[in-house]
A and B are shown apart, each in its own frame.
Chain A
Amino acid sequence: MSQNDDARQITVTVRAPRALEPKEFTWAKTIKVGEAAKEAAEAFGYADGTPTFQNGEDILDRKKPLEAERVEDGDVLDLVDAGGGV
């Protein structure tokens, strides 16, 4: 992999409420939060829902790229559902 490829990607650790162990993922910085969260959710066994990430205290916008939501290499993200109340 070239240096340019590395620079365009970030590796983060994702924690899911239902899981005892986190998982590591590598994504392009430009991937949408929702797409990345969906991939992570599926890896943790979630079959349903509207997953997004929480970075620290902030709920990330699913429509924006990871880099726009200031996700950086090495961050620890928490998986959370973004569905609304009814």
Chain B
Amino acid sequence: MSSTWSMRAVGCEECGPMIPRDLTLGLVEHEELEPARQWARRAGVELTWRPETLELLAVFTQRASGQRFYLLGNLEGYKAVPPAWDFCDEWWGASGAKSNYPSQAAIEGVGSIFHSKPVICAPFNRLAYQAYGGPHADWGGPEQWLKAAPGSARADTLADMLALIARDMNYSRGRMG
């Protein structure tokens, strides 16, 4: 399912070794997964956790259009580095395609984390960092994600990240491309 995804989300020789898989598994399953599931139930988001691949799958329904958006989070190395969030097609493929992304959100007074490029531009997304092919060389490495870009969208638990993504999804209309 995710060979292309794996290359985009994980491969980064400059970033150093990831933390042990069991550490991520313990953190997610003992601390962050249940709040995320509870939030998802309230928000009407379908959430699936795949412990064998450390992937969190979330399906959003865009309020304005009724269209479904498929968000895949690769949690390898979490929480030393942020998850790699990417919108995919309905078969969880086609990583990095504009047509899978929601259009820029229009929230008065708030800059959207959805832009003109198919990447969620927030410090809690590993794919936004230049080391992972993203636009941001100004944030340092992804291991600095908890302090990167002061004043920007902040989220340091899975539930908070999903809530922020939902925030912009709810004010987005249609697709990016």
Contacts and interface: CB of A to CB of B under 8 A. Distances in A.
Contact of B35 (A17, A49, A54, A85): A17
Interface string B97-116: 00000000001111111110
B164 interface: yes
B153 interface: yes
A80 interface: yes
Interface residues of B, number: 40
Contact of B155 (A59, A61, A81): A81
Interface of A: 15, 17-20, 48-50, 54, 57, 59, 61, 78, 80-86
Given A81-B167, A83-B154, 15 more contacts: A17-B39, A18-B157, A18-B160, A19-B35, A50-B151, A57-B63, A59-B107, A59-B171, A80-B163, A80-B167, A81-B155, A83-B110, A84-B111, A84-B152, A86-B111
Q: Would you list the 5 A-B pairs with minimal beta carbon distance, nearest first?
A: A84-B111, A85-B113, A49-B154, A17-B159, A83-B153
Interface of B: 32, 34-36, 38-39, 42, 63, 107-115, 120-123, 128, 136, 149, 151-157, 159-160, 162-164, 167-168, 170-171
